[in-house]
Structure 1
Amino acid sequence: MDQLEPEPHPRDLIAGLEKGLQVIEAFDQERSRLTIAEVAERTGLTRAAARRYLITLTHLGYMRHENKQFSLTPAVLRLGQSYLHSARLPRIVQPLLYRLAYSLEEAASCGVLDDDQLVCVAAVSAGRLVSTTLQPGTRVPAYCTANGRILLASLPRAKVDNFLARAEPEQITSHTIVNKERLALEIARAGEQGYALVDQELELGLRTIAVPLRNFRGETVAAMNISVHAGRISAGQMVERCLPAMLKIQVELGALL
């Protein structure tokens, strides 16, 4: 929601829809199968309410029920596909992302912030599948990704401070920066230099460089990155080889967004 718009009145909100979506979001990579009691615990619903939502979602085809456990079905992907097919950003970015990826012969992707996570909305592998996270719809922590860091750098200082205050960085790899003071410095550095370079903080062997994508008003609306295997290209070589091409695409997209 636009920050200039007032908060909606509670009577204008449909609580059932909100809770139904919370039930869907209770399932993730770590917990792909849940019982009624587990869904109730993860959503704050009563067992009776959780049961009704799960039965309804099963009836609609979004869940399957087996051995007292529920799991999501592929029908849930329709929700994400609706965004990818209807949203303006992926449609505009994809052709230029394709050109960038194949000109450099590297994988490229575009992402946006969703709360404290980075969501991939477009990706081109260019024949190099360096990470399974570089797929439309995937969600990864913003603090340890190049796209996430450059997007955080575009936020007002107060929002960055709030992000760091509530963040609980995990040591995903031996390279992951978890110290909040150092994270603040890395975010500030990304903003000052106009790009973020993250070296194996999300996955070992994955090195990524990202730039912000701004609309014609100068507002940052997304981020674009190039990802390589760390064994092939050094950090310095990435900046020298990839950044100029990325900045050209950045300018072209600025006239379209």
Structure 2
Amino acid sequence: MAADDDFSAPHPRDLIAGLEKGLQVIEAFDQERSRLTIAEVAERTGLTRAAARRYLITLTYLGYMRHENKQFSLTPAVLRLGQSYLHSARLPRIVQPLLYRLAYSLEEAASCGVLDDDQLVCVAAVSAGRLVSNTLQPGTRVPAYCTANGRMLLACLPHAAVERFLERAQPEQITAHTIVNKERLALEIARAREQGYALVDQELELGLRTIAVPLRNFRGDVVAAMNISVHAGRMTAAQIVERCLPAMIKIQVELGALL
């Protein structure tokens, strides 16, 4: 590698615009918009209609899209992209066995996630026989501000980064418990930083309570967060801290020596 190579800020001539735009087309599809027309893809990506059409035709030819009644949708082949990360990345492979042990020792669902911009992406999960939420699956993306893993990771960012996040954030009232006031959200992030864990009570889903701790590598850098999720009808917020946090801290320490 040349000494002046900087992959975080590459020169425009080193970028392949077609690849970037093709990935934007794939990312245009989500839970709310699983089927899109050419015009809708063009609008969501900023491409011309002609360009969007070519990308969609190419992705259909490659097996990543299907076309029916003038609408396009993703095929399961797209999962290969995510599976490549899960199978090759070091973090999920190291975390999964200890996450399994934690989940079954507490008989509660556990997951591990990382920040991707302002979203929390689940990279490993164990249900331990309790399916408390469909969001606890590898590859699932949820807002960081209203999840325990996400809020814990936000709390581990430098203060300036948290301030920038709060400036651009537009919290939505997902449930009656979701914190949307930015001043209160800032206080919750600061509280998580101070106490070393984040507790979120039914802000993403009604009936879902979660507690999270940060995961650090051997250098002390935060690389992910790990949580336990329980049904609100079975355990109060205080009981989650009392029953789950000690076991989580033990796994946290073990993972710190492995990551």
- After TM superposition, the score normalised by the length of structure 1 is 0.98
In 1: Cα distance, 2:55 partner to 2:108 partner = 44
What is the DSSP-based 3-state SS (H/G/I as helix, E as strand, rest coil) of the residue aligned with 1:208? strand
Deviation readout 1:124-165 (Å, 9 max, x if unpaired): 000000000000000000000000000000001111111111
Displacement after TM superposition at 1:3 (Å):
13
Quickly say closer, same or farther: Cα 1:50–1:125, change in 2 above 3 A: same
Quickly say closer, same or farther: Cα 1:227–1:141, change in 2 above 3 A: same
What is the DSSP-based 3-state SS (H/G/I as helix, E as strand, rest coil) of the residue aligned with 1:255? helix
Displacement after TM superposition at 1:65 (Å):
0.5
Kindly indicate whether residue 208 of structure 2 is the aligned counterpart of residue 206 of structure 1: yes
Structure 1 runs (4+) greater than 4 angstroms displaced: 2-6
Quickly say closer, same or farther: Cα 1:254–1:9, change in 2 above 3 A: same
The count of aligned residue pairs is 256
Displacement after TM superposition at 1:4 (Å):
8.5
Kindly indicate whether residue 100 of structure 2 is the aligned counterpart of residue 98 of structure 1: yes
Residue number in structure 1 paired with 2:85: 83
User: What stretches of structure 1 of length at least 5 have no aligned partner?
Assistant: none
The percentage of aligned residue pairs carrying the same residue is 91
Deviation readout 1:65-114 (Å, 9 max, x if unpaired): 01110000000000000000000000000000000000000000000000
What is the DSSP-based 3-state SS (H/G/I as helix, E as strand, rest coil) of the residue aligned with 2:223? strand
Displacement after TM superposition at 1:7 (Å):
1.0
In 1: Cα distance, 2:57 partner to 2:221 partner = 43
In 2: Cα distance, 1:252 partner to 1:153 partner = 22
In 1: Cα distance, 2:156 partner to 2:9 partner = 23
Deviation readout 1:157-206 (Å, 9 max, x if unpaired): 11111111111100000000000000000001000000000000000000
In 1: Cα distance, 2:86 partner to 2:169 partner = 28
User: What stretches of structure 2 of length at least 5 have no aligned partner?
Assistant: none
In 2: Cα distance, 1:22 partner to 1:38 partner = 13
Quickly say closer, same or farther: Cα 1:238–1:170, change in 2 above 3 A: same
In 1: Cα distance, 2:11 partner to 2:135 partner = 37
Which of 127, 143, 153 matches 1:141?
A: 143
In 2: Cα distance, 1:54 partner to 1:89 partner = 33
